[in-house]
Structure 1
Amino acid sequence: MNQHPSTDQTLLKMPSLRAVKCFVAAARHESFTRAAETLCVTQAAISRQIRELEEHLGTPLFERVGRSVRLTTAGAIFFDAAQLSFINIAQAASRIRKDYGNNARRSLTVCCSPAFSALWMAHRLPSFFSAHPDIDLDLVTSQNFLSLEPGIHPDIFITKMSRLRDGYVSMPLFHDRIYPVCTPGYLQAHPEIQTLEGLRHGVLLNLSPYGRSQVAEHVDWSVWLAIYRLDLDDRQKNGAHFFNANDYNLLIQMVLNGQGVALGFNQLVSHLVEQNLLVRPVPEELVLEESRHYLAYREDKASDSALSRFKSWFFAQCGLPGAA
């Protein structure tokens, strides 16, 4: 590995990591005593390390407030940077222990939407763990795939974006199939929803677009009914409720509780339909032929065995050809 003089100078200018560790502990607990208990050292040792750090930086980092301490403006700036650095170091160390240490277990970080994790992943993951007991999964959920928290570098994304970011290879999955769903009991109590006109005037549970700008195209009741030349604005003014939420898990739970009809995205609700927990009151559906979901994986881990095994399992679960 080539050495760069600028890097050497940076290391020489760095404060003691032991001192920074003591500082972070004291800042988190707002107490030198609690910091000492956390790090299993004496309070005097904490005070000495922080004093040396303040001398190195040339400014106080704490001010006394009764029996506790509070960060100064300079201390708050340093704490933000130091805490993030320690988080990154700890995550890297944890990953190395898992992947390269003695008796290493493989680990993968998978990122998908909250709805996909709850309605697609949750009931399928036991089969993955049974088939691959040596692989641990870290599941991260987000609606904003382009701006994750610092330190989060997923190995795999499940997303509706064909090109997510540099360094990832995208593999096409399925199209969205979208159709109304409700419980058998709700359908029996409201037979009028077996027509599109009846649906329009029924209790509709709607997925709002708020906070979903990074999820690609948005399909709600207004869009779905418009495909069949029905205007949602023509609903009876004093008729059934129209409920909006940007939490798809909530909407499906409300449907399961018999509170109305929602649009079901096939990949998320098909298992509930197969179990007869949900039914389709009308046969009509919308298929988004121009878009797909994608599995995007890190290009630099293309030959990683754990990642390859996850891809093969995932594609099999989707009923698609292998991921070789």
Structure 2
Amino acid sequence: MVKHTDPDMTLLKMPSLKAVKSFVAAAKYQSFTRAAEALCVTQAAISRQIRELETYLGVALFKRVGRAVELTEAGAIFFDAAQMSFVNISQAAERIRSRNAGKRMLTLCCSHAFSALWLSARLPALFSQNPDIDLNLITTQNFLSMEPGVRPDIYITKMAKIQDGYRSYPLFHDVIYPVCTPAYQEAHPELATLKGLRDGGLLNLSPYGRSQVAEHVDWGVWLAYHNIDIGERAHDSPHVLNANDYNLVVSMALNDQGVALGWNHLVTALIEQGRLVRPMAEEMVLTESLHYLTIREDREADDACCRVRDWLLGQFDGYPFPAATQLHR
């Protein structure tokens, strides 16, 4: 006798996943045309799938604003759930695929500057020592607002506690000092004094649009720490350029366009290579705050994750903090 299975009403009531995928792409790009390009289909196919979904739900999901489209209130509610579901499915599929391929995929989250100026040059060594590990790198300025469904295995950040379920290892204090190219230093001998530095061409890191998690240090703060008022700059002083992108600030310093503040862990390699120099010995040490390596507690029994954690901790030996392996909850 054949035993019949009752219909699964949850699955039967689900809208077409193909239609939901088209909806998520259109919502993400705010354009049916760009969604079609991203999914390698025609715009007509995207429009048809979204009409099918709107008919199924009985509500409009988009409203037109010029050439773009915006989510309606109902569309925003559905997008949050659909986006999270697709991220979860994608991550699970990637984990399975990587295991089948004999490799373990780990997600590391850090700032743009840390990724470009510290991590990128060290990745070949990490992969050489751990050939069975692949890395999914996420860069952000705001560690408190990750996309729905994204839960990195490891963070490098200035936050002692990001969220529940993570354990933090303190790494080092910030040490901040002026840097410029050897050519720029030679052309501007006045940089040997604090007042001469104040009146020189300054490349400044501004806080606008950046994460407000950590304290902000710019030229005004750094000079005040050394009892120099930036407001007393001479009227005929060169430019002060403000940018909220630290990679851009360093790039301009490397192109002889002024003096930047160098965060020790980000500019040490450039100094060792002779591309940047310290025009004076003065520095600022932020002893009240630390950088942290933060790892998911449910990954601390995972061999691959522990190896990446230990490798990263080892890279910070000798940095200005005495006990990098001490735990902090």
Q: Identify the residue that residue 176 of structure 1 maps to in structure 2.
A: 174
Cα shift at 1:93:
3.4
Where do 1:130-141 residues align within 5 Å? 130-141=128-139
Mapped contact 2:141–2:210 kept (Cα < 8 A):
yes
Where do 1:9-28 residues align within 5 Å? 10-11=10-11, 13-17=13-17, 20=20
Q: Identify the residue that residue 274 of structure 2 maps to in structure 1.
A: 276
Establish whether residue 97 from structure 1 lines up as the match of residue 96 from structure 2. yes
Mapped contact 2:80–2:148 kept (Cα < 8 A):
no
What is the TM-score of this pair, normalised by structure 1?
0.81
Cα shift at 1:212:
2.9
> Counterpart of 1:179 in 2: which secondary structure?
strand
Mapped contact 2:223–2:229 kept (Cα < 8 A):
yes
CA deviations 1:179-221 (Å, max 9, x no partner) are 1111111111111111111111111111112123434111111
Q: Identify the residue that residue 66 of structure 2 maps to in structure 1.
A: none
> Counterpart of 2:125 in 1: which secondary structure?
helix
CA distance in 2, matches of 1:71, 1:219: 38
CA distance in 2, matches of 1:313, 1:225: 36
Cα shift at 1:89:
4.2
Gaps of 5+ in 1: 1-7, 64-69
Q: Identify the residue that residue 303 of structure 1 maps to in structure 2.
A: 301
Cα shift at 1:128:
0.5
Gaps of 5+ in 2: 1-7, 64-68
Q: Identify the residue that residue 3 of structure 1 maps to in structure 2.
A: none
Where do 1:234-245 residues align within 5 Å? 234-245=232-243
Relative to structure 1, the CA distance from residue 185 to residue 164 in structure 2 (aligned partners, 3 Å threshold; closer, same or farther) is: same
Mapped contact 2:316–2:324 kept (Cα < 8 A):
no
Where do 1:116-135 residues align within 5 Å? 116-135=114-133
Higher-Rg structure is 1
Q: Identify the residue that residue 67 of structure 1 maps to in structure 2.
A: none
Relative to structure 1, the CA distance from residue 241 to residue 11 in structure 2 (aligned partners, 3 Å threshold; closer, same or farther) is: same
> Counterpart of 2:288 in 1: which secondary structure?
coil
CA distance in 1, matches of 2:267, 2:239: 23
Relative to structure 1, the CA distance from residue 245 to residue 53 in structure 2 (aligned partners, 3 Å threshold; closer, same or farther) is: closer
Mapped contact 1:311–1:323 kept (Cα < 8 A):
no
Alignment RMSD (CA, Å): 3.4
Mapped contact 2:180–2:256 kept (Cα < 8 A):
yes
Mapped contact 1:98–1:107 kept (Cα < 8 A):
no
Mapped contact 1:175–1:292 kept (Cα < 8 A):
yes
CA distance in 2, matches of 1:123, 1:111: 16
2:152 corresponds, among 145, 151, 154, to: 154
Relative to structure 1, the CA distance from residue 204 to residue 85 in structure 2 (aligned partners, 3 Å threshold; closer, same or farther) is: closer
Mapped contact 1:145–1:214 kept (Cα < 8 A):
no
Cα shift at 1:137:
0.7
Number of residue pairs aligned between Structure 1 and Structure 2: 302
Q: What amino acid is the match of 1:166?
A: D
CA distance in 1, matches of 2:62, 2:195: 67
Cα shift at 1:94:
2.9
CA distance in 1, matches of 2:207, 2:51: 52
Q: What amino acid is the match of 2:312?
A: F
CA distance in 2, matches of 1:294, 1:131: 23
Q: Identify the residue that residue 231 of structure 2 maps to in structure 1.
A: 233
What is the TM-score of this pair, normalised by structure 2?
0.79
Aligned sequence identity (%): 55
Q: What amino acid is the match of 1:92?
A: Q
CA deviations 1:12-36 (Å, max 9, x no partner) are 54334456457668998859xx79x
CA distance in 1, matches of 2:131, 2:264: 29
Cα shift at 1:233:
0.2
Mapped contact 2:158–2:291 kept (Cα < 8 A):
yes
Relative to structure 1, the CA distance from residue 18 to residue 194 in structure 2 (aligned partners, 3 Å threshold; closer, same or farther) is: closer
CA distance in 2, matches of 1:232, 1:26: 49
Relative to structure 1, the CA distance from residue 299 to residue 17 in structure 2 (aligned partners, 3 Å threshold; closer, same or farther) is: same
Q: What amino acid is the match of 1:201?
A: D
